[in-house]
């Protein structure tokens, strides 16, 4: 019982010390030179925001429509993080891509067919791009040679 009382007194003293030290207010400093303000990081954040705004509002964009034979195949886009992101099934709605000539990588796949991967690009004067994928059927399972028999 004595241990519990001592523990409660220590906890209460710690809470009072924290409350009086001002740790509860972690607001952004208002003046340059205060502790916690880093002008280099602020400049980097502003430059990143400006680059994002330039891409969003100034970079020319075009629409790409992806179709396949057979229809209904899954369309995936390879993003800058190195992951395939699903964008829908064929025929797709217009997918917005850069119209700077920079190619984007797309993969089209359907069950029972070999998937295809292709680069898709648009130029600044292009109003839109239509890409047709023709998928080849997979070989049936009885056509594979497995081992010596």
For residue 93, being part of any structural domain is answered with yes
For residue 73, being part of any structural domain is answered with yes
* Span 124-139, pLDDT tens digits: 877 788 889 999 998 7
CA distance 102 to 99: 7
- Separation of first and last alpha carbons in the chain: 79
pLDDT of residue 83: 93
Number of domains in the chain: 1
* Residue of 129, 54, 59 lying closest to 98 (CA atoms): 59
Range of 105's domain? 67-134
Strands 128-134 and 61-69, bridge-based pairing: parallel
pLDDT of residue 24: 47
* Span 96-108, pLDDT tens digits: 887 878 888 999 9
* Span 24-38, pLDDT tens digits: 455 555 565 556 677
Phi, psi of 59 (to 5 degrees): -70, 130
CA distance 52 to 55: 5
* Span 35-85, pLDDT tens digits: 667 788 888 999 999 888 877 777 788 888 899 988 899 999 998 889 999
Longest Cα pair distance anywhere in the chain, in angstroms? 82
The model's pTM is 0.57
Instruction: Say if residue 17's pLDDT is above 50.
Output: yes
CA distance 114 to 37: 55
Contact criterion met (CB below 8 Å) for 32 and 96: no
For residue 91, being part of any structural domain is answered with yes
The distance from CA 18 to its chain's CA centroid, rounded to whole angstroms, is: 40
């Amino acid at each position: 019982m004595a241990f519990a009382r001592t523990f409660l007194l220590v906890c209460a003293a710690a809470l009072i010390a924290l409350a009086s030290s001002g740790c509860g207010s972690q607001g952004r400093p208002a003046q340059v030179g205060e502790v916690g303000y880093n002008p280099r990081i602020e400049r980097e954040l502003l430059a990143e925001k400006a680059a994002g705004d330039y891409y969003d509002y100034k970079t020319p964009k075009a629409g790409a429509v992806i179709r396949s034979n057979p229809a209904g195949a899954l369309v995936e886009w390879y993003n800058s993080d190195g992951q395939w992101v699903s964008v829908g099934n064929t025929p797709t709605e217009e997918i917005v891509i850069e119209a700077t000539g920079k190619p984007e990588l797309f993969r089209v796949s359907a069950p029972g067919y070999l998937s295809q991967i292709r680069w898709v690009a648009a130029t600044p004067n292009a109003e839109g791009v239509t890409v047709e994928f023709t998928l080849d059927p997979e070989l049936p399972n009885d056509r594979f040679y497995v081992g010596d028999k």
